Structure 1
Amino acid sequence: MENAKLLDAIIQNAIDGIITIDDRGQIETINPAACILFGYEPEEVIGKNVSHLMPPPDRNRHDEYISRYQHTGVPHIIGIGREVTGLRKNGSTFPFRLAVSEVGFSGRKIYTGFIHDLSRQKEAEEQLKNYASHLEDLVEERTQSLKETVMALQDAKEEVSLSLVKEKELGQLKSRFVSMASHEFRTPLSAIQLSASLVDKYAQPYENENIRKHVGKIKNAVGNLTTILNDFLSLEKLEAGKVEPAYLRFDLVKLSEEITEEMQLIAKSNQHIIYQHTGKECLVTLDQNLLKNCIFNLISNAIKYSGEDTFIEFNTEISDGNCLIAIKDNGIGIPDKEQEHLFEPFFRANNTGSIPGTGLGLNIVARYTKLMNGEIEFSSEVNRGTSFKILFSNI
């Protein structure tokens, strides 16, 4: 009796829907989860053929499936099953995975159907498909922009004095740009970024506005594509559970200074990143790569959402075994009503306008921080700026 009560409690509180039918396909029992999925009360379906819960063609095939189970004696394995479509009381349909098992009970055979709703999974798959399509369009657009920039660089090069000492090197770089621009999206973006920087360096003595303008376009295009690619790769690894912190002892101040120097190179005109460390200690035990990714994302956002002639504050502090990392900007800020969604994947505030981004960066930062047992918090005010703080204890 106790076992029967326990079994009934499990069925009644199961997350997935559970339905039992007789050998004629008539419903004998249905648990609350299945009632919610199909929109019926138990008394509305008990005694009816289970095909009542399925639209064509599954409705017409269901008796065939039962007959097959009876003749072969091979039940479907729970958890594998087949995908079918359910018909709700209101006429709408939804996808679910159905696994059927044959059970002997009181001298007769009954069939137990386990119903796992696939609606969210299918919606997520469709959403990812849409994002992939959008990414392909973006790649094509950026590639075309790179081709046009390369052609413009060639035109500008022809206007430069024949006495240009590095003309040969510039021609080689131009050829490399053309070659890379014709490749697929997975062409090494870092090579393009390096080449653009070299062109910029060689052209500086001539102060050619066209060269500077088009090199800037290349850097922006590469930066946007690299961010999108890195965000999607990071998200995929996180979702697959492939990210595990690799803790080691390292110098936080040295890492922060390197990041500051690197990020200053991509800052806007007269945009300055001010780094300051508080405390006598400088060593921490964390995953250096994950932490670097978090800081990069936060400073990159500060650069992107702040204007020219602004300061970005980057502070670190180590005291009493705790580590605090803070990044503050004076940018566009985040609307109050949207702040609760800030760390959700693919979320972007409605005041970002045409500023490029995937809406994945902060979600990845929050998840990396959690993997290292840290906490992240923020404060923001529209047109006044945003401040992020990451805290690690017992480091």
Structure 2
Amino acid sequence: MSVNVAHLTSLFENATEGIILTNGQGNIVMVNPAAERIFNYGAAELTGKAIEILLPEKARPQHHQMREQFYKTPSNRQMGHGRDLYGKRKDGSQIPVEVSLSFYKKDDELFVIAFIVDITQRKKHEQDILQQQRELESMTHNMQKLNTQLEAKVEERTLILKEALKKLEESQKDLSEALDKEKQLNEIKSRFVSMASHEFRTPLSTVLSSAALIAKYKQTDEQPQRERHVEKIRNSVKHLNELLEDFLSLGKLDEGKVEAHPVSFELGEFIADLVDEMKGLLKQGQQFSVQHEGSYACFSDKKMLKNIIVNLLGNAIKFSGEGDPIYLHSRTTEKGLHIMVRDKGIGIPEDEHEHLFNSFYRAKNAVNIQGTGLGLHIIKRYLDILNGEIKLKSQLNEGTQFDLFIPNYQ
């Protein structure tokens, strides 16, 4: 018997839940250490006091009635089902609690055991979840607003591009090489319209569907699903921005608004930063192989050079398989800067090499891969401004190599 008493005493003293024992008059008989910590009272301060000392003032009258009713029909149950319960500490502050009741009789006297849990942290977490939900709802609203704006921009750009195509067709009628060049133009137009329709519709559809699904995940344990759809929205918007940037860059080039602004910079740091930015786009198993020869001092248009290399590396990643290396070699000489970008991807059919730098042109084996057909055209235009040149080597299913030369800026 003494062993059992020792066990029970240990359980009472070391329980993580607060335990308060009251008698048939509602007076506190025993308090365990956990309850002392919860309410900041010592056991001696509570013993003999009415249990209502641990309740907020406004809850005491109603609790007294409920206590009397419980004594008439006692049962093991949880208090405050569907309601928030609060306890009152010694300093008068209130804390949210969960209370479960049990009872027993001894010598015909009823004793009630209250098991008390301080749920302050849980309530705080619930408030954080509600705040996140409100933020997600706000984000959904903002994404819907952004989607409307993007649709308007897409429609505006589409009208501009259709007008540009219309002018091209009108000009084509005045050319002497009618049949052959008209056929090429129509093929370009067909590819572009198909590309624009697909490239804009796909991310917009993703934004709409993910925004709609976010609103359906309201439970706390559904946070990973919400985060996954938010990430899809971010990626889709990023892709749309990249498409718009291509169109805007082409527009500025066509209007003659792009000029070179050379500056001195350290090539090694420049390439290291650029490669670090691009690592996030690598497919599983892909790696960059970077080499440099010569001086690291460079004097050129830093922004144009970055756009050129980023575009070439992006293509190498996109058209290569998982595990394939991507090569970036640079070399400086007295005459200028040499850049080589090589991959082991799908390659380019030989009969399409001559068309590859035309605007909106995409090789037949790349039509199912995301892209606008503007990247290489913009690269060629930038190199023309820098008095540079680009050469292509590629074999189907073997890979592609681009060799660039940019002379020292005069």
Q: TM-score, normalised by structure 2?
A: 0.50
Shift of residue 144, structure 1, vs aligned partner: 2.7
1:324-373 deviations in Å (ceiling 9; x for gaps): 11111111110111111111111100001311111110010011011101
**SS across alignment from 2:219:** helix
The equivalent position to 1:370 in structure 2, one of 384, 404, 408, is 384
- Residue 248 of structure 1 corresponds to 263
1:187-234 deviations in Å (ceiling 9; x for gaps): xxxxxxxxxxxxxxxxxxxxx5x5786466445423432222111111
Describe the shift of the 1:159–1:266 C-alpha distance in structure 2 as closer, same or farther (beyond 3 A): farther
CA contact (8 A) 1:224 1:356 kept: no
1:273 corresponds to 2:288:
yes
CA distance in 2, matches of 1:313, 1:153: 40
1:244-279 deviations in Å (ceiling 9; x for gaps): 111111122212111111111122222222322222
CA distance in 1, matches of 2:297, 2:405: 15
CA distance in 1, matches of 2:216, 2:287: 33
1:144 corresponds to 2:205:
yes
**SS across alignment from 1:297:** helix
- Residue 293 of structure 1 corresponds to 307
Shift of residue 157, structure 1, vs aligned partner: 7.2
1:290-322 deviations in Å (ceiling 9; x for gaps): 111101110111111111122111121112342
CA distance in 2, matches of 1:378, 1:134: 24
Shift of residue 378, structure 1, vs aligned partner: 1.6
One-letter amino acid matched to 2:219: E
CA distance in 2, matches of 1:273, 1:291: 18
CA contact (8 A) 2:192 2:360 kept: no
Shift of residue 154, structure 1, vs aligned partner: 5.3
Written as runs of structure 1 = structure 2, the 5 A alignment for 1:59-138 is: 135=196, 138=199
1:356 corresponds to 2:370:
yes
CA distance in 1, matches of 2:378, 2:402: 14
- Residue 325 of structure 2 corresponds to 311
Note the aligned Cα RMSD (angstroms). Answer: 3.5
CA distance in 2, matches of 1:296, 1:140: 25
The equivalent position to 1:261 in structure 2, one of 248, 263, 276, is 276
Written as runs of structure 1 = structure 2, the 5 A alignment for 1:30-49 is: none
**SS across alignment from 1:345:** coil
1:29-61 deviations in Å (ceiling 9; x for gaps): xxxxxxxxxxxxxxxxxxxxxxxxxxxxxxxxx
One-letter amino acid matched to 2:289: I
List runs of 5+ in structure 1 lacking aligned partners.
1-93, 97-115, 162-166, 168-207
CA distance in 2, matches of 1:323, 1:134: 34
Q: TM-score, normalised by structure 1?
A: 0.52
Greater Rg over alpha carbons, structure: 2
- Residue 349 of structure 2 corresponds to 335
List runs of 5+ in structure 2 lacking aligned partners.
1-168
Written as runs of structure 1 = structure 2, the 5 A alignment for 1:191-270 is: 214=229, 217-218=232-233, 220-270=235-285
The list of structure 1 runs, each at least 4 consecutive aligned residues, that deviate by more than 4 angstroms after superposition, is: 116-121, 127-134, 153-157, 210-216
One-letter amino acid matched to 1:142: P
- Percentage of matched positions with identical amino acids: 35
CA distance in 2, matches of 1:141, 1:333: 25
- Residue 302 of structure 1 corresponds to 316
CA distance in 2, matches of 1:124, 1:351: 20
CA distance in 1, matches of 2:227, 2:313: 24
Describe the shift of the 1:311–1:160 C-alpha distance in structure 2 as closer, same or farther (beyond 3 A): farther
1:137-176 deviations in Å (ceiling 9; x for gaps): 7535422311222344555673637xxxxx7xxxxxxxxx
One-letter amino acid matched to 2:347: G
One-letter amino acid matched to 1:298: L
Shift of residue 243, structure 1, vs aligned partner: 0.9
One-letter amino acid matched to 2:363: A
Describe the shift of the 1:307–1:259 C-alpha distance in structure 2 as closer, same or farther (beyond 3 A): same
CA contact (8 A) 2:331 2:337 kept: yes
**SS across alignment from 1:160:** helix
- Residue 137 of structure 2 corresponds to none
